[in-house]
A and B are shown apart, each in its own frame.
Chain A
Amino acid sequence: MRDLSVEYLTARGPVQAVNGVSFQVRQGEVFGLAGESGSGKSTIAHAILRILHPPALITGGAVRFGDRDVLAMSEGELEEFRWKSISIVFQSAMNALNPVMHIRDQISDVLLTHGFPRSEVQERARALFDLVGIDPRRLDSYPHQLSGGMRQRAVIAIALSLSPPLMIMDEPTTALDVVVQKDILQQIANLKEKLGFSILFITHDLSLLVEFSNYLAIMYAGHILEKAPAHELFERPLNPYTVGLMNSFPSISGEKRRLTGIAGAPPDLVAPPKGCPFHPRCPRAMAICSEVMPAIQQVSPGHEVACHLY
């Protein structure tokens, strides 16, 4: 996507949730999108498939999948495009599943809509459940009858049903407890190895992306502040916000460090601060930071930063 901007028209005024965001997810890659709550990452995920609801508006930019312009598609084209080319795994499986339908029906309806032959639907549903490690007999359960982990796996199974080349995962493990989290992540990693799809992994927990992702982007208040290949970002974080994030979580290995948080609170997006959105909390802010928004520029191959320090 390039220069994507999304606005919410709230009663208090327009809120710029996403402001000129550009990035690219390459085939077979795990692209991590990290940021605090409210930084706009979920909004981007929804915007890609254009499933944002009023009062949201896409106000600028382009979203391309291969050679197709998603923002220019008609309703019919979108319906065909969705799930087949890009599917999405939502944060809370309990909320993402229709409470009054069997899981089986929730898999079969998407298969049938996209032209899967009726005779093969049941087989495919069983195969999908096998793939994510759920007993196919649970296909006839309702969502509230499954445990949290099973629900999340069911949602992943549904997301895989049309074998899309790109899967968006919007905080897929946040609603789960830690032990199950690790399980699910492992599962996702295995599936990726096996089936070879790309992942846009959205999270607020950087620690999850440490081993998993190839490329990372850090978001804050609707802007991307830094983009880099994963190992590069961890070894050489440039933007002060990224540095702050890195210092906020402990690493099991390595030397003992003092944990520091980032002082202050995220800005109110109805009236964002002028210039760089992070400057009120930035330990290295300069005069220019409160005036002009830094443009994102390449600092080394593959590594881009939006910061006046560079």
Chain B
Amino acid sequence: MANVNPVPADAENPQALTPAIGEGAAPKKTAGRQARSANRETFRRLVGQPKAMIGLTILVIYILVAIFAPLIAPGDPSRLEARQNQPPSAEHILGTTGQGQDVFRQLAWGARMSLAVGFMVGFLSTLIGLIVGMTAGYLPGLIDGVLNLFTNVFLIIPGLPLLITLASFLPPGPLTVILVLTFTGWAWPARVFRSQTLTLREKDFVSAAVVSGESRPYIIFSEILPNMLSLVVSSFFGAVTYAIGADAGLAFLGFENVNTVSWGTMLFWASNNSALLQGAWWTILPPGLSIALVAFATTMLIYAMDEVTNPRLRSEKEILRVLRRFHVVSKRSTPVVRKAAE
């Protein structure tokens, strides 16, 4: 399972997140439109960001591998065709499994399942989280109280035992996996969206919209949501990170249909076939590393989004660059940099 979802600092201190709307500027009904242009700006800045580029590259590579698996590694990945537990060689790039299957082919085809489940769960968790979170954040009083308690309960109940309990009663298969992972994964985005909605609700442009008689759904979708877009994207990637790791965990325990090929089931079989005792590290390393790399890629994207949307972080990079140029070590006291007269 991947590590604690890295949430941008802003999610916990929603005040720190600066929406594109200028504070104190006359609240306009075009707040939604302003947010949209700010989002475009964010996207532009994202493209040059090193962290974003690394994350995106890794992700795209794996997605391409998944899509083009039939071309890259043709053949049926489950086919038993070779000698068992062969180390990597020219014939089998990543060796063979304990049952005689080609590891590389399994890796390529398995990418489809693992990535599909990951993204699906990510999408669903984010969606449900949005619905619950924004409703709780916008509607005051009892509804918020109930929804919030509900969310917190699901956050605090430990995930894996719940997953196991649920999965053991349901028939194994991708649908079950998606269901139970979403069941345990929606709470974190819900909490994040709720707190952000709470903050945005207090802003001037919302009051302006209320006063001019806009309907609630309009306010929520056209005014508040565009301002949360970067947070939604971050949460989506966070949910994907969680899903990929948790899916692997479930498969490893044997809860998924072990006859399908995914990175998680590869690890299940590796463990089952005593790969460790056989010394067959090539059956363990590639699938696990792939899971780790994809999770790492999504994490990088989250950090990239954080950096791009948080103006304080940007200005800090700026000053570090200047200091380096003038060879001044960054200490706590205000540095003195004498520039040449202009």
- Report A's interface with B, CB cutoff 8 A: 9-11, 46-47, 50-60, 71-72, 75, 78
Contact = CB atoms under 8 A, between A and B. Distances in A.
B336 interface: yes
B202 interface: no
B319 A55 contact: yes
Contacts of B337: 57-59
B318 interface: yes
A47 B334 CA distance: 7
B334 A56 contact: yes
B3 interface: no
A57 B322 CA distance: 10
A59 to B, nearest CB: 5
A11 B319 contact: no
B318 A75 contact: no
Given A11-B315, A46-B334, A58-B336, 13 more contacts: A10-B311, A10-B315, A10-B318, A11-B311, A51-B334, A54-B320, A55-B316, A55-B318, A57-B319, A57-B322, A58-B334, A58-B337, A60-B339
Interface string B134-172: 000000000000000000000000000000000000000
A109 B337 CA distance: 32
Contact of A9 (B322, B330, B332, B336): B322
Interface of B: 311, 314-316, 318-320, 322, 330-339
B311 A50 contact: no
Contact of B318 (A9, A51, A72, A78): A9
B315 A59 contact: no
5 contacts: A11-B314, A47-B334, A55-B316, A59-B339, A78-B333
Nearest to B328: A57
A58 B335 contact: yes
Contacts of B334: 46-47, 50-53, 56-58
A52 B336 CA distance: 11
A9 B320 CA distance: 10
A110 to B, nearest CB: 17
Interface centre among B314, B315, B316, B319 (most CB of A within 10 A): B319
Interface centre among A11, A54, A78 (most CB of B within 10 A): A54
3 interchain residue pairs of minimum CB distance: A52-B334, A55-B319, A11-B314
Nearest to A73: B333
Given A10-B315, A54-B316, A54-B319, A59 B333 contact: no
A50 B315 CA distance: 19
A55 B315 contact: yes
A223 to B, nearest CB: 16
Given A59-B338, A60-B338, A9 B319 contact: yes
A71 B338 CA distance: 11
A53 to B, nearest CB: 7
A53 B319 CA distance: 11
A298 B339 CA distance: 28
Contacts of B335: 57-58
Nearest to B331: A75
B312 to A, nearest CB: 8
A11 B315 CA distance: 5
A50 B333 contact: yes
B27 to A, nearest CB: 18
Nearest to A52: B334
A46 B334 CA distance: 9
Contacts of A46: 334
A46 B316 CA distance: 19
A72 B336 CA distance: 8
A10 B318 CA distance: 8
B33 to A, nearest CB: 21
Contacts of B316: 54-55
Contacts of A56: 334
Nearest to B319: A55
A285 B219 CA distance: 47
Interface centre among A46, A60, A72 (most CB of B within 10 A): A60
Contacts of A59: 336-339
Interface centre among A47, A51, A55, A72 (most CB of B within 10 A): A55
A180 B95 CA distance: 80
A50 B333 CA distance: 6
A58 B337 CA distance: 6
Contacts of B320: 54
Interface centre among B314, B330, B334, B339 (most CB of A within 10 A): B334
Contact of A75 (B315, B333, B336): B333
Contacts of A47: 334
B84 to A, nearest CB: 58
A77 to B, nearest CB: 10
Contacts of B322: 9, 57
B275 to A, nearest CB: 51
Contact of A71 (B314, B331, B336, B339): B336
A11 B330 CA distance: 19
A47 B332 CA distance: 13
Contacts of B333: 50-51, 75, 78
Nearest to B322: A9
A59 B323 CA distance: 12
Contacts of B336: 50, 57-59, 71-72
Contacts of A58: 334-337
A75 B333 CA distance: 7
Given A51-B333, A57-B322, A75-B333, A9 B315 contact: yes
B80 to A, nearest CB: 59
A31 B318 CA distance: 35
